[in-house]
């Protein structure tokens, strides 16, 4: 069963193929599961569209139409866990949708005939704060999708860890001060200064950082495992994630 937390103020559920299967159902639970999937994978899809179309407005229109169709139940029904990884399915679905729209020769208008459907993601500009980074024009649209997928996975895993560390103000403060070491953002010599600030010895600080890194890696693996039919592929998908970030 999926674990419920919060993410950017909204319910956070570790993605599971069972959620994808539930999203195909026309019940209220099914519609909720589908909406959660759209929220979870909004940024990778939008990154792909921005890179491929090279037009922010056109990408926004295409993305809105794609998710509107998905929320209406017209896309998710082709998702099959037997075919492998959920991100592969999603990227294929987006490509098929774009090709269909181009063949039809239509220009999408934001909302179109489905304005009653709300994505409930992003800001007024259509982007989710804290998840989007500028695309590298040297990367292919597929590589941009993979990179934003990797960033989104890390962000979701980081939020899981943050919630776990949110027991007291001191624990929250410790998490925020140690967070840079989880993503390799801390500068040389910073650890001693932060240790002193937190009232820890150098040795205790190293142990705390090591344990938090281990737990963060586990959170990333759990997030990845939820999008795979075969959990034996987790390590391979972890390598894909690191490769996408290194691109």
pLDDT (tens digit per residue) in 165-216: 887 778 888 898 888 888 877 766 688 888 998 889 999 999 999 999 999 9
pLDDT (tens digit per residue) in 69-115: 877 766 666 666 666 677 888 888 899 889 988 877 655 444 444 33
Higher pLDDT residue, 79 or 147? Answer: 147
Higher pLDDT residue, 6 or 165? Answer: 165
Could you give the maximum distance between any two Cα atoms of the chain, in Å?
65
- Residue 141 pLDDT greater than 90, yes or no: yes
Per-residue pLDDT band for 217 (boundaries 50, 70, 90) equals: very high
Higher pLDDT residue, 15 or 182? Answer: 182
Closest CA to 35 of 58, 19, 59, 48: 19
Q: What per-residue confidence (pLDDT) applies to 12? A: 39
pLDDT (tens digit per residue) in 19-66: 666 666 677 777 777 777 778 788 999 999 999 999 899 999 999 888
How far, in Å, CA of 235 to CA of 247, rounded?
Answer: 18
What's the chain's average pLDDT?
76
Q: What per-residue confidence (pLDDT) applies to 74? A: 63
Q: What per-residue confidence (pLDDT) applies to 47? A: 94
Q: What per-residue confidence (pLDDT) applies to 84? A: 65
The alpha carbon torsion through 124, 126, 129, 135 (nearest 10 deg) reads: -140
133-142, 151-160, 233-242: least confident range: 133-142
DSSP the chain: -PPEEEETTEEEE---HHHHHHHTS-SHHHHHHHHHHHHHTHHHHHHHHHHHH--HHHHHHHHHHHHHHHHTTSSGGG--GGG--HHHHHHHHHHHHHHHHHHHT----TTGGGTT-----S-TTS--TTT--PPPTTS-HHHHHHHHHHHHHHHHHHHHHHHHT-SSHHHHHHHHHHHHHHTT-PPTTHHHHHHHHHT--HHHHHHHHHHHHHHHHHHHHHHHHTT-S-GGGHHHHHHHHHHHHH-
In a 10 Å sphere around its CB, with 0-12 CB exposed, 13-18 middle and 19+ buried, how is residue 91 labelled?
Answer: buried
Q: Where are the domains of the chain?
A: 4-246
């Amino acid at each position: 069963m999926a674990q419920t937390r919060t993410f950017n103020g909204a319910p956070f559920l570790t993605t599971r193929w069972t959620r994808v299967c539930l999203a195909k159902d026309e019940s209220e639970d099914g519609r909720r599961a589908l909406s959660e999937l759209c929220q979870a994978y909004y940024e990778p899809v939008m990154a792909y569209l921005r890179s491929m179309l090279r037009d922010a407005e056109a990408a926004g229109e295409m993305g809105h139409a794609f998710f509107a169709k998905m929320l209406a139940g017209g896309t998710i029904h082709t998702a099959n866990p037997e075919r492998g990884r959920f991100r592969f399915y999603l990227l294929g679905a987006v490509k098929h949708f774009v090709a269909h729209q181009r063949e039809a020769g239509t220009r999408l208008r934001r909302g179109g005939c489905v304005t009653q459907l709300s994505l409930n993601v992003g800001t007024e500009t259509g982007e989710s704060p804290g998840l989007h980074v500028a695309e590298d024009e040297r990367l292919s649209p597929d590589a941009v999708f993979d990179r934003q997928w990797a960033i989104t996975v890390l962000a979701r895993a980081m939020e899981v860890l943050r919630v776990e560390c949110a027991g007291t103000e001191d624990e929250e403060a410790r998490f925020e001060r140690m967070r840079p070491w989880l993503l390799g953002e801390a500068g040389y010599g910073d650890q001693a200064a932060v240790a002193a600030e937190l009232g820890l010895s150098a040795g205790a600080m190293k142990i705390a950082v090591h344990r938090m890194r281990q737990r963060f890696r586990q959170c990333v693996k759990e997030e990845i495992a939820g999008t795979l039919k075969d959990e034996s592929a987790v390590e391979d998908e972890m390598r894909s994630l690191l490769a996408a970030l290194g691109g």
